[in-house]
Amino acid sequence: MRPDGLGWREDADCLALAGGKICALGRAAEMAAWRGPGTEMIDLAGGYLTPGLVDGHAHPIQGHDLQIGLDLAEVRDMGQLRAALAQAASALPPDAWLQGHGLDPSLLAQAGHPADELEAAAGGRPVFLLFFDYHGAMVSRAALARAGITGPRGFASGADILCDAAGRPTGTLLETEAVELVRAVLPRLEQAARLASMRALFERMADAGLTGMHVMDANGDSLDCFAALEAQAKLPLRFHILPWVNPGATRAELEAVLALQSRAGRLWRVCGAKFFIDGTIDAGTAWLHEPDTQGGSTGPHWPSPEAYSEAVRFFGERGVHTATHAIGDKAVRHVLDTLASLPPPIRAAARHRVEHIETLPDEDVGRFASLQVLPSMQPSHAVRYASADLSDPWSQRLGPVRAARGWRTADIAATGVPLVLGSDWPIAPYDAREILACAVARRLPGRALAPVGAEQTLSRAAALAGLTRHTAYVVQEETRLGAVLPGYDADLTGFSVDPLNAGVDELGTAPFRLTVSDGQVTHRLAK
Ligand SMILES: [Zn+2]
């Protein structure tokens, strides 16, 4: 590997593969001896080959199942929402579910009783609308009735059914446990059709440059889906899967997640435990040192932060990787303190990571490097869900000081710790070009908007490492993935523009020439 550790030879445009492994690489003229019946040659004349791009944080199965119905990402006020629902309802039978996703939670401020508003807009049909951050939903009266929700309930995880003064549910459900009450009664796609639709999704992910994904949940029948898809035909991507440990998990629940660590197929593997220590800034459910400007985001998701620390220790002592969703500054501090409390040999026996890290004070920036705890961040969230002028709900909730400490990718990378990058799809698009463009320019490609946190841009090499070498390292696969070297698994992405030198708009929009996963071509640009 080169001293700067990019893990590929920029001048190589020809590879010899066998048995899913890289045998040799170089200029086409040097490679003649490798041509033969036992090898497959990949000639990328004119393209740019890098290690396969891996999204370090995504929810492919859950995201597939959640993105049903209307896309409400462009809806800006209740008037637009009512119009969109009325139009969609007019094409449905009278008692059919009306589903949507991508809803902006700040619309709640405009809707007193969403359940009644949705009921009226949809002509009495049951309505289920997920927030864009998937940390809540708005549902209609009929939907509440079908799910048997009649009033408040206590949830250990911090989930909530919002109710009015009379105890009547308003139609707003916060966090998974509450949302799942309604999801459980939604109509389901027939399994063969669902699996086919998942495979088509994975193929689109390969077209978008990806050869792998770190799956941050094993919810529902996810593992059975990976197994069933792989039994049908080879998977288009490689999946590393970290099942959830729910807030307040009992010892038996920890043991159950531990037992899942043995589940694997050829291209999918359970390899860690995913925690949540808080929620989101926008929903007021994050954990901040000081409350947000509306008095929210004051506590952790775990009923007891000490119990969280104990649960992380349980996995650390057994050599199991952990990942913890920590968005607020206090949440990040608690995760780092927890990992700092592990004896160093135990901490070093697995790779521990912190997901999101949305606002971070100076004093914690260097702790990832000193503890060798891996930060995992989503540059496209900074660009899509915050704005340079701080007028967006995320910035308003945090106020100017904490918003200015948002998504500090450059500051953290400068400390030398491997920074993992991803999308958290379906929260943001999985397209690797968007992740790269947002990482290197803090703006979406092809749009002339001001960069968000312009001082946090990464070099192109650092952004590429975040999707290649570092995604391999964080799952302890750095001796076989994340580089284009002889003996490594043949997971490769071929750019049609030079990823180290192309302009950001070009980098963010040029189609990928090729993707190869486990030696199998999963995308090839039509000539
Ligand atoms: Zn996630």
The Å distance, Cα 135 to ligand 1 centre, comes to: 10
Q: Taking a C-beta distance cutoff of 8 angstroms, is the pair 469, 482 a contact? A: yes
The Å distance, Cα 24 to ligand 1 centre, comes to: 37
| Cross-strand pairs, 521 | 516
Token representation of residue 402: 């904490």
The Å distance, Cα 424 to ligand 1 centre, comes to: 5
Residue 37, amino acid: P
Taking alpha carbons only, the member of 404, 492, 423, 447 closest to residue 213 is 423
Strand boundaries in 382-430, DSSP class E: 420-421
pLDDT recorded at residue 243: 98
Token representation of residue 483: 């580089």
The Å distance, Cα 430 to ligand 1 centre, comes to: 12
Q: What contacts 191, CB < 8 A, 6 or more positions away?
A: none
Strand boundaries in 476-524, DSSP class E: 492-495, 512-517, 520-524
Please state, in angstroms and rounded to a whole number, the distance separating the CA atoms of residues 108 and 211: 38
pLDDT recorded at residue 120: 93
The Å distance, Cα 486 to ligand 1 centre, comes to: 33
pTM for the structure as a whole = 0.88
The Å distance, Cα 216 to ligand 1 centre, comes to: 6
pLDDT tens column, 206-240: 999 999 999 999 999 999 999 999 999 999 999 99
- Helices then strands, each counted (H, E), the chain: 20, 23
Please state, in angstroms and rounded to a whole number, the distance separating the CA atoms of residues 306 and 304: 5
The Å distance, Cα 87 to ligand 1 centre, comes to: 32
Mean pLDDT of the chain: 93
pLDDT tens column, 237-286: 999 999 999 999 999 999 999 999 989 999 999 999 999 999 999 889 99
CA 195 to each of CA 200, 232, 239, 287, 518: distance values in angstroms, whole numbers, following the listed order: 9, 10, 16, 37, 21
Q: Taking a C-beta distance cutoff of 8 angstroms, is the pair 312, 338 a contact? A: yes
309-313, 462-466, 483-487: lowest mean pLDDT where?
Answer: 483-487
Reduced to 3 states, what is the DSSP secondary structure of residue 407? coil
The Å distance, Cα 63 to ligand 1 centre, comes to: 10
Q: What is the DSSP letter of 34?
A: G
**DSSP codes of every residue in 128-149:** EEEETTSSEEEE-HHHHHHTT-
The Å distance, Cα 217 to ligand 1 centre, comes to: 8
**DSSP codes of every residue in 170-192:** EEEEESHHHHHHHHTTS----HH
Could you count the other beta carbons within 10 Å of the beta carbon of residue 485? 16
Reduced to 3 states, what is the DSSP secondary structure of residue 246? coil
The Å distance, Cα 324 to ligand 1 centre, comes to: 10
Q: What is the DSSP letter of 122?
A: T
The Å distance, Cα 261 to ligand 1 centre, comes to: 19
Cis peptide before 426 (omega within 30 of 0): yes
The Å distance, Cα 1 to ligand 1 centre, comes to: 32
Average pLDDT over residues 22-29: 88
pLDDT tens column, 56-108: 999 999 999 988 889 898 898 999 999 999 999 999 998 999 999 989 888 87
Check whether 4 has a pLDDT greater than 60.
no
Taking alpha carbons only, the member of 98, 162, 97, 110 closest to residue 136 is 162
Average pLDDT over residues 488-514: 94
The Å distance, Cα 140 to ligand 1 centre, comes to: 26
Three-state SS for 429-440 is CCCHHHHHHHHH
The Å distance, Cα 356 to ligand 1 centre, comes to: 8
Please state, in angstroms and rounded to a whole number, the distance separating the CA atoms of residues 475 and 267: 14
The Å distance, Cα 483 to ligand 1 centre, comes to: 25
pLDDT recorded at residue 3: 33
The Å distance, Cα 452 to ligand 1 centre, comes to: 21
Residue 355, amino acid: E
The Å distance, Cα 57 to ligand 1 centre, comes to: 6
Please state, in angstroms and rounded to a whole number, the distance separating the CA atoms of residues 318 and 523: 38
Check whether 204 has a pLDDT greater than 60.
yes
pLDDT tens column, 132-175: 888 899 999 999 999 999 999 988 777 899 999 999 999 999 98
pLDDT recorded at residue 6: 61
Taking alpha carbons only, the member of 328, 333, 334, 376 closest to residue 352 is 376
The Å distance, Cα 134 to ligand 1 centre, comes to: 9
Query: What phi and psi, each to the nearest 5 degrees, are found at residue 58?
Result: -160, 170
Q: Which ranges of 372-503 would DSSP assign to H, the alpha helix?
A: 379-385, 393-403, 409-413, 432-441, 460-467, 469-474
267-279: burial string, b at 16+ Cβ within 10 Å, e else: bbbbbbbbbbbbb
The Å distance, Cα 280 to ligand 1 centre, comes to: 11
The Å distance, Cα 12 to ligand 1 centre, comes to: 36
Reduced to 3 states, what is the DSSP secondary structure of residue 245? strand
The Å distance, Cα 3 to ligand 1 centre, comes to: 33
In total, the chain counts a number of residues equal to 527
